[in-house]
Amino acid sequence: MGQDKASADVGGVPLLQRVVAAAAQAAAVVFVGPNRPTGLPVAVHWTCEDPPGGGPAAGLLAALPLVETPVVVALATDLPFLGGLPQRMVERLAASDADSVVPQDPAGRDQPLCAAYRTAALRAAGEVIGAPHGSSMRALLLQLRVERFQPGSATVDPTMDVDTPDDLARARGALMMQEWIDAVRLDLATTGELDVDVVLDVAKDVAHNVQRPAAPVTTYLLGLAVGSGMPLHEAAEKIRELASGWIAER
């Protein structure tokens, strides 16, 4: 990143502050890493794996001696758009017999550093893998009963992380997009279903298979269909099917 990732900001708010705000309902917050002044509105317990630099599994397990609750939520410091996902994961775990609830990103990849775990099961898994330095999160998950799920539609993917300067720029752009959409919805008093990825995919398919000016008009028609009661994904699929064969039929 070329800078301390925790202090990198999205929308003027450091990533660490964004993550802690998403964990506002937690009984306690444990930060694994070097102690630093944060200006956070909650007390933070600081710790670090020994030796430092042991990787994410070692870092997660290093926090457990400070955890007194039956459930622990792991959140990487580079997740700017968590929203209510941490609480949703806790509720999902409470209704499950799994040891862990792990969301997947839109590509279907596990996000174990954005997940809820039963503390006792996580401790037991750590004992099985032994010395955690250099161990992978995958090795840890293999010792657990994992329930995987897709977080669902949102203006911005809540599992989006920031690993590079390009990721940071993309996150800032995504926040601007989210703020614009929220402002438009507020001004137009719209409360209906919205999956930004579906809408953008429809526009892309139409622009590619029909012609570019058809894309915004088609997304407007998509909105009319949803406003008339058709589910968004059903309407989008109908348009995709029509667009996919459009050039071949002409």
- Region of 55 (left: φ > 0; alpha: ψ -120 to 50; beta: rest) is left
Question: Quick one: 10 and 39 in the same domain?
Answer: yes
Q: 2-26, pLDDT tens digit by residue?
A: 778 888 999 998 998 899 889 888 8
Query: 196 φ, ψ to 5°?
Result: -60, -40
Q: How many helices (H) and strands (E) does the chain have?
A: 10, 8
Question: Quick one: 117 and 174 in the same domain?
Answer: no
pTM reported for the whole predicted model: 0.80
Residue 234 has pLDDT above 80, yes or no: yes
- Domain count within the chain: 2
Q: 188-223, pLDDT tens digit by residue?
A: 888 776 778 788 889 999 999 999 999 999 999 998
| Predicted local distance difference test score (pLDDT) of residue 35 | 78
Question: Quick one: 180 and 139 in the same domain?
Answer: no
| DSSP tag of 34 | -
Neighbours of 244 (CB within 10 A): 12
| Predicted local distance difference test score (pLDDT) of residue 38 | 62
Give residue 125's domain range: 5-149
Q: Rg for the chain (alpha carbons), in Å? A: 21
* 209 contacts: CB under 8 Å, gap ≥ 6: 243, 244, 246, 247
Question: Quick one: 215 and 132 in the same domain?
Answer: no
Instruction: Go through the chain and tell me how many residues it has.
Output: 250
Neighbours of 58 (CB within 10 A): 23
Question: Quick one: 43 and 118 in the same domain?
Answer: yes
Q: Tell me the CATH number at 110.
A: 3.90.550.10
**Matching residue, tokens 């202090």:** 7
Q: 40-51, pLDDT tens digit by residue?
A: 767 788 899 888
Question: Quick one: 46 and 121 in the same domain?
Answer: yes
* Reported confidence tier of residue 141, pLDDT bands at 50, 70, 90: very high
